[in-house]
Every structure is written in C-alpha cells, then in structure tokens.
C-alpha cells in the first residue's frame, strides 16, 4: 500500500516521496490495510447473512461519514445577511405630511423616519452616532455646536447635502407661520454657515439635551426653497418626499373614489450614509382604524404593526410573530387644573382623589400588564427615577377608598346617605357637593382607563362628569384654552427628560404644556438648572429634589407608563428596537434589519 501511495505521488503529482512514508511507523499503519482485490475476494466467501451484515455496516459507515463531514462543513461556515425580502407594515392612520417639520400623525412619523435623516441618530445606549454629520464639536461653555457634513451625503435625487440645507430646515422649524411642532426646541438657537459642509449653532444658554435637536430630519433646500411657509402644508412634496434616509418612496397607491392613499412602497437608498439597507421593500399599508388593521393582520395582509392594543396582542400572537417590548419615556396622569376647579385647588382633595385610584387595576384591565404603575412624572428606567412608595399602593381597592374618605372627612366632607355624594356645609344656606369633571380623548385605552378612574372616584362619593373628545377637538377646544377640571392625558418626556416644558411656570399658557397650571419657584429653579447640567450625578440629585416637590404638591395623579409593543414576523432579523420616544423610532436601525441570508466559509467572510 505504501509503495502505491509513493508511486502515485511521484507519477501523477510529480511530488518526491515524503520521508515520513519511509518510516517504520507508516509501514506498520498500512501493512494491515487490505487491497481492493483482497476485499472483493473476501466478500465472495461471505454467506448471505454475512453479506447482509457487511452491506448494512458499509451503509452505516458511509452515512456516518457523510454526516460527520456535513457537521464539520457547518462548523466551518457562518450565516451572513444578504439583500432580499419584504416587510408589509400596517398603520391605523392616513399620511398627510411626510415632512420632519410637519409630521404629527403615526403614518406621517413612520414614513418620515424612513425617508429622512438628521445630522445625528440615537442609539440604544442613549447616545448618538453620526448620520449626515461626519463629526461635531462642542465649545467649552456648551453654547456652540459645530457640525461637519459628510462628503458622501446625498439626497434621493443624487444632489449633495450641504450646510445650506441644514440652515434652511432650522429656519423653517423656527418660522412662526409654519407652526412646526419642532419650533419650541429651536427657540433661542441661531445657526450660521461656516462652509459648504460646516454649520455652527449657538445657544443663548447651555441645554444638556441639545443633541436631540440634531436628530431632526433635514429638508432639501433645492426642493422646498420656492415654497412659502403658508403654502408648505399644501405642497405635493409632503407626499412625494425627497430625503436622504435609508429608504426612498417608489410608489403611492390611492383609492380612485376619494384619492386617499392605500399604501406606499419604499425601496432601499443605495447611497444611504450608514450603508444600503438589506430588505428590498417596505410597504406601509393604511387603515381607517385599529379594528381594520387588526383584521388585516389576522388575514395576513400585513406582517407587522406597532402599538396594537394589549387585547390585540393577546389575540394575534402566534408562532410566526415576534412581540418586541420596550419601556417608553412617556407617562399618563390625571392633571389637576387648580385654576379651573375650586375643589381641585385644595391639596387634601387632590390627595384623596389620588389615593382612591386603583392604578394596578388599570394596568391589569386596560394594559393587560404591558406597563408599569407610577407615582412620579419621571418614567421607570429613566435617569433619576425614584420609586415613591405610597401607603395606598399595597392595600386593597376597598381600603384605598376608606383611606381617601378619611382624608376628606378631616377637612369637613361627609357622605350624604341619600345621594351618595360627598358634601360640605359652608353655611346654613349653602352646602357644597364635591364635583369634578375628567376630560380625555376617545382613544380606546384612555377612555377605558378614564371610566375606571371615574368609578373609583364615585365610590369615594365624588360626583364625576366624564367628557370624551376627539383628539383634534380636545387639543383645540379643551387643552389650548385650558378648559377642564382634570385632564387624563399622556406626556412624552423623551430620552433626555424634557420636564421643563411640562412643569415650569413659564409654560402654563399655550403653546406651553404645563397642563396642571403648576407654579412652584423651587421647581422652576431646579428645572432651569437641569437644562444646563451635564453631570449625571448632579442631575440625579436635582431630579430627586424635583420629584419630592411634586409629591408634596400633588399637581397630578400619576397613573402608568405604558410599554411600546411591536409585532413583526420572525423572518425579520436584527430588529434591535432602540428605546423609543415615539412609535416611529422603531425604524432607527432599520438599515441593519434583514430577512434573507447565505452561508459562507468563515475564511471568506
């Protein structure tokens, strides 16, 4: 055998006989290996039974060898993402403004986040990475931010992104006529062009969350420059949007009856600065309401949806669906308008109303566990969050009601056994009935939670008037003029805890959002310090002091902080949801998602 191997090496491959083949060890190894002729001759002497066993043994040997080789091959290979696949996203909303300065609805925000890019992009660890910006610097006094734009940053139509585009976008965001929701965050900021690719932004005073401003989508000046601010909302560019983000609009399908959009198809932008996305197509389909979206998901017409109601989640889960959850920097509370209600101006009444609410019951019944109870304006998992334990939190609903009644009894309120309402005798001629109204939107979860709050307060003996409004009506005719006793509503405090807008006394009037009409000079100073403070240790101390003041004054009854919920096909990989401010933030790393893969040897990766 050794001689045959040696001859083959020398004759066929022109390789000299290796020295190791001449060794006694090799001779020993090969001397007992039978030749082909010996194997054939031996099998001829086998009986039928021996031939059967030999055949089975040979078959098992070959199969085992093949499996072993396959396993070795698999160990030497890795899976890597490749282009391909499609996501069909369902949204219970209709798009109007695919525009970073005007987007307010869910559909607008979703598509805007896919089409547009900012100078920076948030990451899951709470930091920021460069997007359109190649780099940025901050002055020592934290008043000047200078951004350098990437040389390879281009718009979907191929034109370069310049500092002119950034300046134009900021100016429009600040434009009073445009009425952009972004306007407040740019007040007191001036911007100036240094060069074609550099721009400097100057603040009047330090603002520790300013980098969040730099995540705002940038508009192409060459497309929007000739459109007056009062005509911005009417431009076709609000639908045929041109951005620099990971996806660009390919097709808009509309109904022939009313010209309303049915779906929008988006395809990868190959020149996206963070890399061309892998998924070949994202289709956003639009539905009139959550019920229609729910039915479409059940039928398989959509493969993903965000922010479904907790009830929908329980019904839609299956082995093909991933449910992704994340805490939201958002709180829901009953905000007490002490300027509108004489009863709510009394701290003890506010304390009693807060005590009576079964917050855990709301989490279980309304959110089905997808959220957390809160006693503070700072959401759980946020910097500086302090768990405020209340005696009523660990008691039964019945005990809470009794505790709340004791608070009211101490200040002269008694139950009228005939009417069941709390009353207080002011004089021989005047007896007051404790009466409060709750205003909220017709959104399903808020409406149901409001009904539970109303029921708890009625058990306490309060006469409650629940007022349900359509969202636009609530904003324009209730919140803006501050015409409510109490308001059950949500506040998005953001990644960097924008508490100033909600609790500083300067924000009591519209467009400020201090909806409790809260005024506390100590809190004002704390919030002013927080805006400028960059040291986390000092910020935590300030936030602790802030929460202590809020707990003492009870300007609101804080109910819950909901979870963000996203249903998506298990086929879609690498969906790492960055803790979102809004639902559209789920797309912040969409360029890293993939569906299709291929296997390659590690050495070729």
Beta strand 86-91 with 281-286 is parallel
Bridge partners (DSSP) of residue 77 are 601
Residues 181 and 251 in one domain: yes
274 inside domain: yes
Residues 322 and 335 in one domain: no
Residues 344 and 316 in one domain: no
pLDDT digits (tens, 9 = 90+) for 455-487: 999 999 999 999 999 988 998 899 999 999 999
The pLDDT value recorded for residue 53 is 75
242 inside domain: yes
The stretches of 317-420 forming alpha helices (DSSP H) are: 347-356, 359-365, 397-410
| Last residue of one domain, picked from the residues 15, 44, 78 | 78
pLDDT digits (tens, 9 = 90+) for 413-444: 999 999 999 999 988 889 999 999 999 999 88
269 inside domain: yes
Tell me which residue of 1, 61, 54 sits closest to 26, measured CA to CA. 1
604 inside domain: no
The pLDDT value recorded for residue 397 is 86
Provide the 3-class DSSP secondary structure of residue 274: coil
The pLDDT value recorded for residue 389 is 61
Rounded to 5°, the CA angle 264-269-274 comes to: 125
Distance CA 353, CA 336 (A): 10
> pLDDT grade, residue 40 (50/70/90)?
low
How buried is residue 391: exposed, middle or buried, by Cβ count under 10 Å (0-12/13-18/19+)?
A: exposed
Residues 533 and 555 in one domain: yes
Percent residues over pLDDT 90 in the chain: 63
Residues 133 and 229 in one domain: yes
Q: In what order do the strands lie in the sheet with 414-415?
A: 414-415, 422-425, 431-433
pTM over 0.85? The answer is no
pLDDT digits (tens, 9 = 90+) for 280-336: 999 999 998 888 999 999 899 999 998 888 878 878 777 788 888 888 889 999 999
Q: Highest mean pLDDT: which of 39-43, 179-183, 274-278?
A: 274-278
Least confident of 53-57, 185-189, 278-282, 342-346: 53-57
Model confidence at 582: pLDDT above 70: yes
pLDDT digits (tens, 9 = 90+) for 500-532: 889 999 999 887 889 999 999 999 999 999 888
Instruction: Output the domain CATH number for residue 473.
Output: 3.10.105.10
Instruction: Output the domain CATH number for residue 246.
Output: 3.40.190.10
pLDDT digits (tens, 9 = 90+) for 134-178: 999 999 999 999 999 999 999 999 999 999 999 999 999 999 999
321 upstream amide cis, omega within 30 of 0: no
The pLDDT value recorded for residue 580 is 77
**The residue count for the chain:** 605
Distance CA 555, CA 557 (A): 7
Tell me which residue of 93, 102, 94 sits closest to 231, measured CA to CA. 102
DSSP 21: G
Number of domains in the chain: 3
Residues 452 and 590 in one domain: no
Distance CA 167, CA 191 (A): 6
Residues 22 and 64 in one domain: yes
Residues 62 and 146 in one domain: no
Residues 320 and 334 in one domain: no
Least confident of 8-12, 116-120, 346-350: 8-12
Percent residues over pLDDT 70 in the chain: 89
Domain range enclosing 398? 330-563
507 inside domain: yes
Model confidence at 398: pLDDT above 50: yes
> pLDDT grade, residue 1 (50/70/90)?
very low
The pLDDT value recorded for residue 52 is 77
Residues 146 and 30 in one domain: no
The pLDDT value recorded for residue 362 is 96
The pLDDT value recorded for residue 8 is 45
Residues 341 and 481 in one domain: yes
605 inside domain: no
> pLDDT grade, residue 73 (50/70/90)?
low
603 inside domain: no
381 inside domain: yes
Residues 104 and 59 in one domain: no
Provide the 3-class DSSP secondary structure of residue 229: helix
| Last residue of one domain, picked from the residues 56, 78, 100 | 78
């Amino acid at each position: 055998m050794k001689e045959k191997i040696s001859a083959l090496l020398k004759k066929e491959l022109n390789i000299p006989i290796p020295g190791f083949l001449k060794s006694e060890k090799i001779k020993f190894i090969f001397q007992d290996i039978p030749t082909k002729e010996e194997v054939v001759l031996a099998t001829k002497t086998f009986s039928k039974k021996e031939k059967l066993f030999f055949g089975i043994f040979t078959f098992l040997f070959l199969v085992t060898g093949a499996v072993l080789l396959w396993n070795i091959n698999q160990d030497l290979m890795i899976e890597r993402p490749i282009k391909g696949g499609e996501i069909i996203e369902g949204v219970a909303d209709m798009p109007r403004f695919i525009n970073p300065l005007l987007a307010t609805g869910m559909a607008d925000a979703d598509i805007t986040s896919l089409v547009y890019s900012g100078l920076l992009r948030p990451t899951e660890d709470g930091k920021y990475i460069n997007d359109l910006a190649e780099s940025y610097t901050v002055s020592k006094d934290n008043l000047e931010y200078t951004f350098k734009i990437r040389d390879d940053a281009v718009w979907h139509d191929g034109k370069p992104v310049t500092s002119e585009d950034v300046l134009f976008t900021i100016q429009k965001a600040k434009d009073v006529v445009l009425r952009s929701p972004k306007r407040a965050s740019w007040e007191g900021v001036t911007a100036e062009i240094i060069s074609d690719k550099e721009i400097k932004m100057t603040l009047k005073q330090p603002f520790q969350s300013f980098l969040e401003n730099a995540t705002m989508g940038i508009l192409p000046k060459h497309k929007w420059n000739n459109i007056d601010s009062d005509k911005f909302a009417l431009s076709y560019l609000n639908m045929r949007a041109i951005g620099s983000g990971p996806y660009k609009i390919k097709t808009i399908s509309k109904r022939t009856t009313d010209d309303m959009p049915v779906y929008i198809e988006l395809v990868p932008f190959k020149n996206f600065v963070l890399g061309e996305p892998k998924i070949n197509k994202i289709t956003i389909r639009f539905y009139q309401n959550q019920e229609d979206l729910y039915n479409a998901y059940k039928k398989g017409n959509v493969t993903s949806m965000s922010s479904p109601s907790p009830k929908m989640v329980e019904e839609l889960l299956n082995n093909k669906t991933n449910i992704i959850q994340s805490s939201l920097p958002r709180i829901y509370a009953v905000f007490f308008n002490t300027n509108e209600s004489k009863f709510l101006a009394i701290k003890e009444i506010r304390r009693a109303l807060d005590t009576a609410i079964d917050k855990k019951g709301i989490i279980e019944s309304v959110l089905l566990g997808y959220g957390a109870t809160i006693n503070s304006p700072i959401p759980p998992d946020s910097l500086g969050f302090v768990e405020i334990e209340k005696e009523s939190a660990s008691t039964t609903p019945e005990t809470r009601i009794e505790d709340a009644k004791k608070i009211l009894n101490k200040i002269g309120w008694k139950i009228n056994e005939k009417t069941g309402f709390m009353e207080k005798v002011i004089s021989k001629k005047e007896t007051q009935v404790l009466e409060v109204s709750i205003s909220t939107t017709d959104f399903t979860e808020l409406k149901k939670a409001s009904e539970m709050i109303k029921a708890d307060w009625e058990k306490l003996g309060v006469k409650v008037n629940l007022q349900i409004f359509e969202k636009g009506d609530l904003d324009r005719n209730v919140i803006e003029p501050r015409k409510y006793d109490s308001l059950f509503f949500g506040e998005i405090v953001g990644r960097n805890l924008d508490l100033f807008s909600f609790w500083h006394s300067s924000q009591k009037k519209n467009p400020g959002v201090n909806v409790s009409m809260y005024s506390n000079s100590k809190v004002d100073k704390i919030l002013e310090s927080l805006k400028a403070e960059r040291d986390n240790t000092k910020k935590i101390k300030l936030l602790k002091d802030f929460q202590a003041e809020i707990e003492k004054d009870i300007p609101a009854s804080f109910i819950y902080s909901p979870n963000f919920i996203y249903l998506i096909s298990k086929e879609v990989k690498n969906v790492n949801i960055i803790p979102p401010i809004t639902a559209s933030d789920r797309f912040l790393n969409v360029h890293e998602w993939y569906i299709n893969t291929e296997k390659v040897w590690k050495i070729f990766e």
